[in-house]
Structure 1
């Protein structure tokens, strides 16, 4: 019996010890993970903290901010360390706080963890801003939001030719935080208000010129700078500054820079309210491109965020760093609480999680028809190639051109939209660009170069993307036999109010115009009912926005598949145009039955690019 008891105790000890070992191992892995997110580089008389989440552009998490706080505090107390450096790994210093994680925590109801993030981050920023030893930040690559917040308060801020700075929070329904109301409010004139409200980007040279960075160096020289810093045995700021200057480069601010427009920025952004700023920009829009660009940015932002941000910058002008951070902390907690508005959660979802507003490119290589064209054409950039074949052949199938076709076809030159919709005529890539359905043209053989170039871009600026596409673009030549050279004749035949009148006009011209005979052949192959529905759809679409066109097409599509009036979609049962009455056509545009919900689109949140 005693032996059995001993074995039982031994078994329990082994199980307990095994669980302990497992728990310790899991905790160690988690600890290693957190440590891997902020690496430490030891030098003779200094230390470097390296933000190490390159795939997330070094977005800052609670654990990263906490580890930075502990490291900086320990280094400050260590007499064997003269100065500290912070830098990022990969193509970014830091894109800011990890807002995607914050969004997910909010969705899970973990508000306390979100509050802990802001508290930990702001505490570290204050530590950097009041650090007792020289501290350097290498702002190489993307430096935005909270990333700028942990960089700008430092003693030395090194910008490079790869630096991209911005405070884009208003576009996400948030406010420029992490000390932004302190450092932006101290920029020349009303530049801080301009940057905060528009999210305008600055490059490395501009950062030095306006005072947000203290030194400038080419990215290629950073290894020399770090090697030199690693050799220093000093805590004297002047010695460190002289060492940085040895590898510095002269800065030249581009003549198109916003810094050359300070007087105009002051004129528009000096006003007391956002409404007055918008009014001033609107008045100047006709003669000043700065106004149109700024207005576009303001319209993309949350109106509530704009007003909060302007007040924050104005108050920050008269407050020290600690008061600015305390006020921003209160504002941030109110934002995530959704007490007044849910703009923050919706903005993060749209901009960072689902990326609703990111510039969209579609490569229309090969067959692009019907619904395929529908998902391609509304995008911002549409790249056609020498292999592209476009068409809307639905009338030959007893259906109607849908998926937004009544929107984009109705906006083509003259009556080309009616011609394409009723005949199902094909267009090639060059023709798509010429008529506006595509924005760029490239040979199929160059697509791999284009995709490689796009993969290297670190921007959401449409103009930069467009310029990159243009670099690999090709000149288009529309074939002399193209239907685009027959627009006048197409307008003559397809301008009429009914399909019968169009057929009559084509019949009259058939003897002397081959366009007519080809078009008539196509119309005879199509469903008569579909032809009439399609013509009315294109004509109505000319005066409707995209959402109304899609809602109407949705009703028509549901009526088509219901076979309430005709079974043409499955198999034609309307043999001639004469057999199709106006009442039959109107049924396809009628409201849906009460049991069938209408198409609901988020029109308050989104606008089409076309």
Structure 2
């Protein structure tokens, strides 16, 4: 009898584990929703509890579906959005990457490689691609939106490339799109991780349209209702909502400070940028100075060179450069330390090595820019 009961409980335990695995598999499958609605393919980043952060599985599934829709003559439009009200996508799942880094560096390299291949696929996509960048949009979230033909911001959009705060660089093609923004705005955003908010995401040239958040559902419905959407009539629908938007119409924080940004961030070295900010002495300049002084000195110097070199490269050349830069960052001190300070212990007091800009030499920088990489990026 005891043996029978033991087998029964063993079976029950096994069945419970299997049910849990099936549930986990279902939950994983639901991390991103890929749906056909009318003539459109709709991508919904579906991890609202973690601000729709990108996992490796999400990146792989979006890429494969994007390629299918691109070849499908009945899919004429692609829309990407985030679930929930807080975020479009706060970036890659950095915490998961840090855990993987301890046991399997190949898996981490695969994540970045697949992510950059997806970024390039969005840029070269032959179907109109509409990104609804409502809410927090950072890092990898910028990468799955900024290369689409249409990017729609709302008054609740918050966009940033904050990688220098975690010992990394503004990747996903940051070296391509940031230096191509007006004046020195991209250099400012890449070095400080400054958060563009609301209409400034449009004013900066990152969003192509601005729509009131309460109209976003109606906008999507109107796009889905198009019988045979072309680039032109998609643009017409977006423009009709854009021109009716009145929220913060005459408000732009960024434009107020463009003279200071252009003047202070025009230098060829981070040390000179700091000197210009000190000389300026305005509350805005002193605030940026305080921010920069908290960033990884190594990341700051890599980022400035990355943006300068990227300004004359193609997107694919930049992504290849960044793939190698990121791999070098992964095996050095500052990236895991930045994650520890920001996301694990949350003490916000990273101990950078080197801790001073003067200690980051040209030889150190050359190490990052000549890093051979592993399983190099191919498109």
Q: TM-score, normalised by structure 2?
A: 0.84
Residue 328 of structure 2: which of 334, 337, 341 is its match?
Answer: 334
Tell me the equivalent position of 2:342: 351
Residue 101 of structure 1: which of 69, 82, 96 is its match?
Answer: 96
1:318 to 1:167, Cα distance in 2 relative to 1, 3 A = same
- In 1, distance between residues paired with 2:353 and 2:110? 33
Tell me the equivalent position of 2:267: 271
Deviation at 1:103, TM superposition (A): 0.9
Cα shift readout 1:343-373 (whole Å, capped 9, x = no counterpart): 0000011112222129xxxxxxxxxxxxxxx
SS at match of 1:332: helix
Cα shift readout 1:557-592 (whole Å, capped 9, x = no counterpart): xxxxxxxxxxxxxxxxxxxxxxxxxxxxxxxxxxxx
User: Which runs of 5 or more structure 1 residues have no equivalent in the other structure?
Assistant: 1-20, 359-601
Tell me the equivalent position of 2:209: 215
Q: CA contact under 8 A between 2:129 and 2:150: conserved in structure 1?
A: yes
Deviation at 1:235, TM superposition (A): 3.7
Cα shift readout 1:96-130 (whole Å, capped 9, x = no counterpart): 011111111112x2101100110111110100011
Deviation at 1:254, TM superposition (A): 6.3
Tell me the equivalent position of 1:439: none
Q: TM-score, normalised by structure 1?
A: 0.53
Q: CA contact under 8 A between 2:298 and 2:354: conserved in structure 1?
A: no
1:72 to 1:24, Cα distance in 2 relative to 1, 3 A = farther
SS at match of 2:343: helix
- In 2, distance between residues paired with 1:179 and 1:28? 37
- In 2, distance between residues paired with 1:56 and 1:270? 36
- In 2, distance between residues paired with 1:158 and 1:251? 14
Q: How does 1:260-409 map to 2 (within 5 A)?
A: 260-285=256-281, 288-338=282-332, 342-357=333-348
Cα shift readout 1:158-184 (whole Å, capped 9, x = no counterpart): 000110001111011111001111111
Q: CA contact under 8 A between 1:175 and 1:308: conserved in structure 2?
A: yes
1:604 to 1:34, Cα distance in 2 relative to 1, 3 A = closer
- In 2, distance between residues paired with 1:217 and 1:152? 17
Tell me the equivalent position of 1:462: none
> CA-atom RMSD, angstroms?
2.4
SS at match of 1:186: coil
Per chain length, whose mean CA-contact separation is higher, i.e. which structure has more relative contact order (CA < 8 Å, sep 6+)?
2
User: Which runs of 5 or more structure 2 residues have no equivalent in the other structure?
Assistant: 1-14, 356-379
| Structure showing greater Rg | 1
Tell me the equivalent position of 2:82: 88
1:254 to 1:168, Cα distance in 2 relative to 1, 3 A = farther
1:603 to 1:51, Cα distance in 2 relative to 1, 3 A = closer
Deviation at 1:71, TM superposition (A): 0.9
Q: How does 1:409-448 map to 2 (within 5 A)?
A: none
